[in-house]
Amino acid sequence: MPKKIDNYNAILLVDKEAGMTSHDVVAKLRRIVNQKRIGHTGTLDKAATGLLVICLGRSTKTSQFISDCDKEYIAEIKLGRVSKTYDAEGVDFETKEKDCSSITIENIKAVIETFVGEIKQQVPAYSAVHVNGERLYKLANKGIDVDLPEREITIHSIELMDFSDTTLKIKVACSKGTYIRSLANDIGKILECGAYLANLQRTSVGNLSVEKSLTISEIENLVSENKLEDKLLQFNEVVTYASCAVNDDFVDSIYNGKEIIKEYIDTVYEEYNAGDKVAIKDLNGNVLAVCKAEVPSNLISNENEQKLFSYIRVLN
C-alpha cells in the first residue's frame, strides 16, 4: 500500500449512514483519499445519520472551532418505554408499553417549551464522557453506579414537526455538547410515560447543511474521477470570524507565532471587539491563524508596539 500523505488540506461534508461510528467513517475515508491527517469535528452516535464534518490535512487544526458551532437535529422520539441508553438499543421490548392515549399535542408543546434556553443537562450513563479516569459506558457495562456529570447547554429552539400515535418528531437547534438522547429521556419523565430516541439526523453544523454533504460512495466516485477537490471547503467558508490580513513579509512571522503588531496589518475586513476570535489571513485570503483580539478593531491604528492579538491556534 502506498504511504499515506496529505493529498487534501480542506474540509469535507459527509452524510453519515446509520450503523457506522464516526471513527468508522474516518477510517474508511482515510483509505479512500489516501490521507495521513484526517479527523471529524463532533461524534455522531452509531445509529444516527446526517452531517459529519471531516477535516483533511492542515484543516485538522481547525476542528476545535468547527466543533464549537451550534448544531441542528431532527429527532424521532418514541413514547411509552424507557431505555437504559436513552435510545432504541437499550429498550427492553419485553416490558409492557405504557398507555399514552391521553397525551395530546398541547401536552407535548408545553413540555418541550420548558427545555428552550440555557439549561443543565445530565450526561447519559452510556456515553464516552470520562468519570474517574474511565468512560461512562464502560462503568455502566460493569454495573458501576456513579454520579452523572451535568453540562450547561443552550437549546435555542424546539419545533414540533409531527405527533402521531406514540411518536413525536422534533427539530432541535442547540449548542455543542447537547445530548438529544437525554432530551428524549427527560421529555418522557415529564410526561410520566417514558420515552427514548428512536431516530436522529444531524441536519446542520454552524452554517453547514447536510444538503451539501456527500455519501461515502459519492466521495469514492469523486476520488476515482479526480473531482473531489471541487466539493471541498476552506476554513473561512465554514467559520466566519471577523478577519485581518497581514502583509506578505510577515506571513512566516505568523506561522512562527511571533507577536502581531500594527506593522504587520495590511487590511481589517470586519469590525470586532476585544476578546473576539479573529481570523488572521494572508493577502490571498488563506487563514494563517485564529487569535483572540486584545484591542478592538477601531483602535488598531492608535497602537504602536502593543500586542494586538493572542494566538489560539496557528494553522500551518
CATH number where 267 lies: 2.30.130.10
Q: Are residues 112 and 194 in the same domain?
A: yes
Domain presence at residue 28: yes
Q: Are residues 184 and 137 in the same domain?
A: yes
CATH number where 78 lies: 3.30.2350.10
Q: How many structural domains does the chain have? A: 3
The model carries a pTM of 0.90
Q: Residue 240 and residue 49: Cα distance in Å, rounded?
A: 26
Q: Are residues 261 and 291 in the same domain?
A: yes
Q: Are residues 78 and 182 in the same domain?
A: yes
Cβ contact 306:291 at 8 Å = no
Q: Are residues 147 and 183 in the same domain?
A: yes
In the three-class reduction of DSSP (H, G, I as helix; E, B as strand; rest coil), residue 264 is classed as helix
Picking from 173, 200, 227, the residue at the C-terminal end of a domain is 200
- Residue 133: pLDDT above 80? no
Helix or strand holding residue 22 (H, E): helix 22-33
Domain presence at residue 61: yes
- Angle at alpha carbon of residue 68, lines to 140 and 132, rounded to 5°: 30
Residue 139: pLDDT band (50, 70, 90) is confident
- Residue 123: pLDDT above 90? no
The per-residue pLDDT for range 234-277, each reduced to its tens digit, is 888 888 899 999 999 999 999 999 999 888 999 999 999 999 99
More confident residue, 172 or 45: 172
The domain of 273 spans: 241-314
- Residue 303: pLDDT above 70? no
6, 24, 45, 99: the active-site residue: 45
Residue 306: pLDDT band (50, 70, 90) is confident
| Predicted local distance difference test score (pLDDT) of residue 70 | 95
Q: Are residues 78 and 179 in the same domain?
A: yes
Can you tell me the mean pLDDT for 204-229? Answer: 96
| Predicted local distance difference test score (pLDDT) of residue 299 | 86
Q: Residue 168 and residue 178: Cα distance in Å, rounded?
A: 19
- Residue 7: pLDDT above 70? yes
The per-residue pLDDT for range 55-94, each reduced to its tens digit, is 999 899 999 999 999 999 999 999 999 999 999 999 988 8
Residue 30: pLDDT band (50, 70, 90) is very high
Domain presence at residue 96: no
More confident residue, 154 or 285: 154
Active site residue 45: yes
| Predicted local distance difference test score (pLDDT) of residue 3 | 59
| Predicted local distance difference test score (pLDDT) of residue 117 | 97
Domain presence at residue 5: no
Q: Are residues 156 and 249 in the same domain?
A: no
Domain presence at residue 47: yes
- Residue 1: pLDDT above 60? no
The per-residue pLDDT for range 167-207, each reduced to its tens digit, is 999 999 999 999 999 999 999 999 999 999 999 999 999 99
Q: Are residues 169 and 79 in the same domain?
A: yes
- Residue 289: pLDDT above 80? yes
In which residue are the cell numbers 466543533 written? 67
- Residue 4: pLDDT above 70? no
Q: Taking all residues of the chain, what is their mean pLDDT, rounded to a whole number?
A: 92
Q: Which of 302, 299, 280, 301 is nearest to 289 (CA)?
A: 280
More confident residue, 141 or 50: 50
| Predicted local distance difference test score (pLDDT) of residue 128 | 79
More confident residue, 170 or 133: 170
Q: Residue 63 and residue 235: Cα distance in Å, rounded?
A: 10
Q: Which of 91, 90, 89, 72 is nearest to 81 (CA)?
A: 91
- Residue 2: pLDDT above 60? no
Q: Are residues 221 and 305 in the same domain?
A: no
Domain presence at residue 120: yes
